[in-house]
Amino acid sequence: MAKLFSAEWMTQFKDAWNSDPEIKDKLAEINFNSTISWGFKDEENPRGIIVVENGECVRASDWAGETPDWDLRADLSDWLKWVQKGIGMMGLGAAYATGKLKFKTGDYKSMIKDPRMAGPFVKTFGILQQIGADELG
């Protein structure tokens, strides 16, 4: 298994994203384009990033100074819990409401109210459990 948010892990995330029609195709229907980063609440910069064009993840790598449209942050322990056990819509809402999941950039409330985006967003968290991860070194 790859280290969480490493370039190798982000590439696995990209491949899983693109192979899931409930993510890729649904986001293509709304011409979704975005730069999305992931990282930890206690760090200034994100760790990993993907670039999405018309629903398809076209690049995944270590963060290299890009300005994300969406920047999702949580503590390592929470990310690893979601990797092991998964998380659904209710769990994501609770994680956001309690501050376990932070959006450093991006508007969670408007996104989650739009079913065209909310469904694929929740599915991306399923990828965490699907590909797994090692703790950081």
H/E stretch holding 39 reads strand 34-40
pTM of the model: 0.93
* Predicted confidence (pLDDT) per residue in 34-85, tens digit: 999 999 999 999 999 999 999 999 999 999 999 999 999 999 999 999 999 9
Q: Which residues contact 84 (CB under 8 A, 6 or more apart)?
A: 129, 132
Tell me the domains of the chain and their CATH numbers. Answer: 7-131 (3.30.1050.10)
Q: Give CB contacts under 8 A, 24+ apart, made by 110-116.
A: 116/26, 116/29, 116/30
